[in-house]
Structure 1
Amino acid sequence: MKETVVLYPSPGIGHLVSMVELGKRLLLLLNDTSFSITILISHAPYNTGATNPYIRRVSSTHPSISFHHLPPVSIPPLHSLSSPHQEALAFRFLRFNNTHLRQALLSISQSSPIRALIFDFFCAVSLEAIPDLHFPTYFFFTSGVSVLAFFLHLPTVHRLTSASFKDLKDTPLHFPGLPPIPASEMPLPMLDRSDEAYDGFLYIAQSMTKVNGIIVNSFEELEPQAKEAISAGACVPDGPTPPIYCIGPLIASDGQGEGEGEGRRNGGGADECLWWLDSQPSQSVVFLSFGSMGLFSEAQLIEIAVGLEKSGVRFLWVVRSPPSSDKSRRFIAPPDPDLESLLPRGFMERTRERGKVVKSWAPQVAILKHESVGGFVSHCGWNSVLESVCGGVPMVAWPLYAEQRMNKVFMVEEMKVALPMDEDDNGFVSSAEVERRVRELMELEQGKVVRERTLAMQDAALAAFRDGGSSYATLTHLAQLWN
């Protein structure tokens, strides 16, 4: 009877891609034809990126990975949601999904003994559905070790203060193993402790010690201080710390990366990007892309365009339509942009010799591995950070949502693989700042220093998965625990 490891990602293409790559890595490592991966797919009532094309491609190329689609669930209407953050909606949805999750696990176990259940950390509420199902359970943490250290210590911080992070403003907060982080840089949904989304994240943090271990998509050499602090028990001073397994970097192996599927409707856009890069000099192009959920206002898009034009730097820029002003559509993917109406008049013509603008999507992993790309302006999503490190491409950190503001602090101050993009008090970035940072990254000494550090981390990332490397050894040990 074929055994299986069940993976349960939270809705969202970035989380799904990481889970699939974990499944591929396990299959490659175990090399066991009596073993399979089952991935549970839930159908959320909000924009998660276009997952269906990706699922079809994985199904056709990896027969030992199967996808089990959970039935749709009904949740309260969006207008009843008190929080403006999609994370609050996700937490509600995942709780309503628990009945279907339990039924799926019981059904799967009748034909395939379950070696382990690995679920996305967003799915912490799933523990409530399986108290009597006796197989090993693990969190899969799709961000880095540094963010994990923050979450493990969050219940302690919550207990010791009654203030919201937003009220602490720029007060530096101290977490074991991390550089000081201004309170204003906490994830946006967590700034107000009365917000429903804050409650959801606190619940996750409190649940993290209740599993057999936490699997992290990172490697020890990238975040050694955070890893040491967690392993020493400093982040959970009043309780046990579960084992931490750094098994990354897991990045999309098919060259797609964050935003997969979103731009497939653009036909030959992927080939067009790579053909254009083929004609550019080595390390001369700065790539700008902001993930499957990264949206800018029209005014901000204009500032980016002006800054790029003034910089004189070659660029490849992925542009998405601005977010809708209709609140009822806040969790719905926007249509492809009308570039001529969004960008400054004549911009496309004036920059066509040294720049390329593409709509909605580009093959990010393949681009970051291309010889012509010398820099990346990124939203600091963790998948993008790992993809850039693995490509040896230094970054400008421009965070937009989720934990990205914290990632920026770690990338600039701890990992030293990025320069910061500075914004005003309203979160707006001027064209002068865009011009300055792009030129620093691509032409000046600041960029050279960050590039050398990124190349060193690229070597460490490659070494981590070689036989005897840190991630290879960790994943091997983890798999042995399930035999």
Structure 2
Amino acid sequence: MEIHGVLVASPGMGHAVPILELGKRLLSHHGFNRVTVFPVTDDVPRSKSLIGKTLTEEDPNFVIRFIQLDVSGQDLTGSLLTKLAEMMRMAIPQIRSAVMELEPKPSVFVVDLLGTEALAVAKELEIAKKHVLVTTSAWFLALTVYMASLDKGTLFKHLSSYGALLIPGCTPVKFDRVQDPSGYVRELAESQRIGLEVVTADGVFVNTCHSLEPVTIRSFLDHKNLGLVMNGVPVYPVGPLVRPAEPDLKHEVLDWLDLQPKGSVVYVSFGSGGALTAEQTMELAYGLELTGFRFVWVVRPPAEHDPSASMFDKGTNQTEPIDFLPYGFLDRTKDIGLVVKTWAPQEEILAHEATGGFVSHCGWNSVLESIVNGVPMVAWPLYSEQKMNAWLVSEELKIAARVDAGNGVVKKEEIVEMVKRVMDEEEGREMRENVKELKKKTAEEAVKNLSTPQAAYFTQY
């Protein structure tokens, strides 16, 4: 029987990259004959440009078709979660039409966590198997499905009274603004809806592995803990799903890194969506300068009120002047630093032997890319589940130093301290050893994932 899989990705590279990597794996290792990927986006040229950098080879059986959204005039206010959930809701009719046109008819449907409403399309079209890919941690999946198991009153009581949600079998999740949960009722409502829809799938795949989250994964396998919340829906850790670095890629950053000593450079990037305020950008610049360490910094224009502003900023490009940095900064640091506008080849930078540390917003893709390349981090979360990820890498895995952004602007003195904790040979020794051990373990698990039970799961009808 020919197996045709359809995979749908929510807007943003953090969702598209794992979906694309899963699609390539299904085609190369799991017996699929054809895979069609539908990335949802409001900016096809930008998405094409970024996604083109994630695919290293062409295959006629691996097809990418973009779902173009027109969001002009739409109310996309609120948090990033509510914006992306609304965009995926708008895309449902186009997803339905696109899937109906496919030949041969797909037998497997996979959507990421923010697109769970599209599971109804798979059911309507009588697609045999429907799945969810969680593009972030198992801990975040645990939070999502457990929140959905509680009524709104109980959830608000937990958040207001305890400031945390005590999830069965895994680490509690602490919340900001807990004294007034009504201030983010839309976000909670979307999260609960997603959690309820997850357990209507035939299976859930998570971009993680046992080495990273053993306790949480065990809780999902335990019918008395999170296994009970999942209503019998199996959860499979299938990570890390990250794009491998291209060994022969040509880029000015890589040429510059070739000239630097091994492990001497700190890489600074806040992902494809992250944005800092003008004041914070200045503090970061002064902090990097004061550390004395070599650095590569991917910069974007400041945004004052939305830390995820770059995700929807179509005006940002590599030709804009960098007039928001301190006066003379580029001249003073020209011998030790390289400032790159908008985008840089992150996977290749992290894989380069000159890179010794990573100042990161802790998006899950960036966390995994840092781990698979054995690079310790300065954890600097900005929005969404990034604070959970930052806690995981700093407190549990102990591969990162975490900045304290609770008081607003992170001052240059703390930036210096955090970078030195990671980059200094003695202070950063434990983090480097821990991340190298994780690199080895995750590599071993990735090989195992190519032949474990989920490989046959798709073909059992």
Tell whether the structures are fold-level matches, with TM greater than 0.5. yes
User: Aligned partners of 1:24 and 1:162: how far apart in 2?
Assistant: 39
Structure 1 residue 219 corresponds to structure 2 residue 215: no
Q: CA deviation at 1:454?
A: 0.5
Q: 2:35 is matched with which residue?
A: 37
Aligned residue pairs total: 453
Alignment check: 8 A CA contact 1:380 1:408 kept: yes
- Structure 1 pair 345–296 and aligned structure 2 pair: CA distance change class (3 A): same
Map residues 19-98 of structure 1 onto 2, 5 A cutoff.
Answer: 19-30=19-30, 35-44=33-42, 50-55=46-51, 58=55, 61-70=58-67, 72=68, 77-78=73-74, 80-81=75-76, 83-98=77-92
- Structure 1 pair 56–457 and aligned structure 2 pair: CA distance change class (3 A): closer
User: Aligned partners of 2:71 and 2:275: how far apart in 1?
Assistant: 26
Q: CA deviation at 1:349?
A: 1.6
The aligned amino acid for 1:51 is S
Q: Which moved more, 1:350-359 or 1:299-308?
A: 350-359
Q: CA deviation at 1:53?
A: 2.4
Q: 1:448 is matched with which residue?
A: 429
Q: CA deviation at 1:342?
A: 1.3
Alignment check: 8 A CA contact 1:219 1:470 kept: no
Map residues 271-310 of structure 1 onto 2, 5 A cutoff.
Answer: 271-310=251-290
Q: Structure 2 stretches of 5 or more lacking a match?
A: none
Alignment check: 8 A CA contact 1:300 1:429 kept: yes
SS at match of 2:251: helix
Q: 1:263 is matched with which residue?
A: none
Structure 1 residue 242 corresponds to structure 2 residue 233: yes
Higher RCO structure, 1 or 2 (CA under 8 Å, sep 6+): 1
- Structure 1 pair 310–270 and aligned structure 2 pair: CA distance change class (3 A): farther
Q: Which moved more, 1:345-354 or 1:159-168?
A: 159-168
Q: 1:266 is matched with which residue?
A: none
Structure 1 residue 251 corresponds to structure 2 residue 248: no
Query: Could you tell me the percent identity over the aligned residues?
Result: 30
Alignment check: 8 A CA contact 1:166 1:184 kept: no
- Structure 1 pair 340–333 and aligned structure 2 pair: CA distance change class (3 A): closer
Alignment check: 8 A CA contact 1:146 1:410 kept: no
SS at match of 2:78: coil
Q: 1:136 is matched with which residue?
A: 129
Alignment check: 8 A CA contact 1:59 1:65 kept: no
Q: 2:368 is matched with which residue?
A: 386
Map residues 152-163 of structure 1 onto 2, 5 A cutoff.
Answer: 152-159=145-152, 161=154, 163=156
- Structure 1 pair 22–160 and aligned structure 2 pair: CA distance change class (3 A): same
Q: 1:6 is matched with which residue?
A: 6
User: Aligned partners of 2:203 and 2:450: how far apart in 1?
Assistant: 15
Map residues 31-430 of structure 1 onto 2, 5 A cutoff.
Answer: 35-44=33-42, 50-55=46-51, 58=55, 61-70=58-67, 72=68, 77-78=73-74, 80-81=75-76, 83-108=77-102, 111-134=103-126, 135-159=128-152, 161=154, 163=156, 167=160, 171-184=163-176, 192=182, 194-233=184-223, 234-235=225-226, 237=228, 240-255=231-246, 271-323=251-303, 331-336=312-317, 340-426=322-408, 428-430=409-411
User: Aligned partners of 2:459 and 2:434: how far apart in 1?
Assistant: 34
User: Aligned partners of 1:205 and 1:43: how far apart in 2?
Assistant: 23
Alignment check: 8 A CA contact 1:6 1:38 kept: yes
Q: CA deviation at 1:417?
A: 1.8
Q: 1:18 is matched with which residue?
A: 18
User: Aligned partners of 1:325 and 1:227: how far apart in 2?
Assistant: 36
Alignment check: 8 A CA contact 2:159 2:165 kept: no
Q: Structure 1 stretches of 5 or more lacking a match?
A: 257-268
User: Aligned partners of 1:444 and 1:309: how far apart in 2?
Assistant: 19
Q: Which moved more, 1:229-238 or 1:371-380?
A: 229-238
The aligned amino acid for 1:3 is I
The aligned amino acid for 1:38 is T
User: Aligned partners of 2:227 and 2:442: how far apart in 1?
Assistant: 28
Q: CA deviation at 1:14?
A: 2.2
User: Aligned partners of 2:306 and 2:145: how far apart in 1?
Assistant: 37
Alignment check: 8 A CA contact 1:179 1:413 kept: no
Alignment check: 8 A CA contact 1:231 1:241 kept: no
Give the alignment's Cα RMSD to 1 decimal: 3.0
Q: Which moved more, 1:9-18 or 1:294-303?
A: 9-18
Alignment check: 8 A CA contact 1:285 1:374 kept: yes
User: Aligned partners of 2:191 and 2:211: how far apart in 1?
Assistant: 27
Q: 1:260 is matched with which residue?
A: none
Q: CA deviation at 1:97?
A: 2.2
Alignment check: 8 A CA contact 2:9 2:115 kept: yes
Once the two structures are superposed, residues 316-359 of structure 1 have per-residue CA deviations (whole angstroms, 9 ceiling, x without a partner) of 111111127799x9833342475652111121122222111111
User: Aligned partners of 2:411 and 2:316: how far apart in 1?
Assistant: 26
- Structure 1 pair 419–178 and aligned structure 2 pair: CA distance change class (3 A): farther
- Structure 1 pair 159–239 and aligned structure 2 pair: CA distance change class (3 A): farther
What TM-score does the superposition give when structure 2 sets the normalisation length? Answer: 0.89
The aligned amino acid for 2:213 is E
- Structure 1 pair 240–305 and aligned structure 2 pair: CA distance change class (3 A): same
User: Aligned partners of 1:85 and 1:162: how far apart in 2?
Assistant: 19
Once the two structures are superposed, residues 184-208 of structure 1 have per-residue CA deviations (whole angstroms, 9 ceiling, x without a partner) of 299xxx9656532332121001111
Q: CA deviation at 1:390?
A: 0.5
